[in-house]
Structure 1
Amino acid sequence: MIIIGDDLNDIQEFKYFLSQQFEIKDLGHLSYFLGLEITRSIDGLYITQAKYAFDLLSRAGLTNSKTVDTSIELKAHLTPSGRKPLSNPSLYRQLVGSLVYLTVTRPDISYAVHQVSQYLSAPRSIHYAAVLCILRYLKGTLFHGLFYSV
């Protein structure tokens, strides 16, 4: 459970209340939660998913691949038909699902991820190639994230 607030006394009272009702353990300041890396500064919080993204690149076997400058080719015309259907679409679906979660901190890939997510039911090789393009773009921009000021 993450407890946040602007009044430290209220937070302490709430944690005390919880400790009276349940066995709890205070893990201190939040630094990693559900694939989100949180860094505190005097200006606010910096949230990234760099480790999550790197793990995704590893799962796709792209840690040593070249990077690209755009998340989707400008001439890419994705359609439900054409090219060969994927014999086992489960990796495609896993990668697209992970990319959807990654858009929490990477809105720059949102459009491209939306495009490939339309073909989850019957993905084809061209759709998988588009996912790989998104991942190669991601690799080149791995340490981008959003800054949330508190």
Structure 2
Amino acid sequence: MKDLVPLRYFLGIEVVSSPKGYFLSQAKYANEVIHRASLTDTKISDTLIELNVKLNSTDGVPLDDPTSYRELFVFAPRSTHWATLVRILRYLRGTIFQGLLLSSTSSLDLVAYADSDWAGDVTDRKSISGFYMFLGDSLIS
């Protein structure tokens, strides 16, 4: 294995190196997803999703043509899911140039946060959990 050039793109992530550290961005990939969704308007959303939205597989009406939805997401193409997906893509459009800075000067303290809800999935009552891990000031997972 040879190191031929400085890292610029890796798995859809743009990497920019500076004395402050590495800046990671998915602007190019997000633009491609927005383009595939054929969102021709320029609307953006300030928030990712409405507070306390619980979607399930029976909400809304089935889409007439689920092809676009399936190209961007997985299955269960209902009207409410498509509307939520469009909102998420509009949020991405508004935050497209944000990214992560992996700082070269932060400490090596490992800090983790976790949260979950109990039986929050409206379809099968499974619990939903999430976590963040920081190495110094840098989000790593």
Show the counterpart of 2:18: 41
Higher relative contact order (CA 8 A, sep 6+): 1
Q: Which amino acid aligns with 1:135?
A: L
Distance 1:50 1:63 in 2: 18
Matched, 1:133 2:110: no
Number of the residue aligned with 2:5: 28
Match of 1:148 among 102, 106, 115: 102
TM-superposed deviation, 1:63: 4.9
Aligned length: 104
Cα deviation, 1:103-143, whole Å, max 9, x if unaligned, reads: xxxxxxxxxxxxxxxxx432211101100000001111110
Structural RMSD (CA): 2.0
TM-score, reference length from structure 2 = 0.64
Q: CA deviation at 1:88?
A: 3.9
Q: Which runs of 5+ in 2 are unaligned?
A: 105-141
Gaps of 5+ in 1: 1-13, 16-25, 97-119
Q: Which residue of 2 aligns with 1:79?
A: 56
Q: What pairs up with 1:92-103 in 2 under 5 angstroms?
A: 92-96=69-73
Give the share of equivalent positions with the same residue, in percent. 48
Structure number having the greater helix percentage = 1
Shift of 1:27: 3.4
One-letter amino acid matched to 1:68: S
User: Which residue identity lines up with residue 91 of structure 2 in the other structure?
Assistant: Y
Contact 1:38 1:45 in 2 (8 A): yes
Q: Secondary structure at the match of 2:82?
A: helix
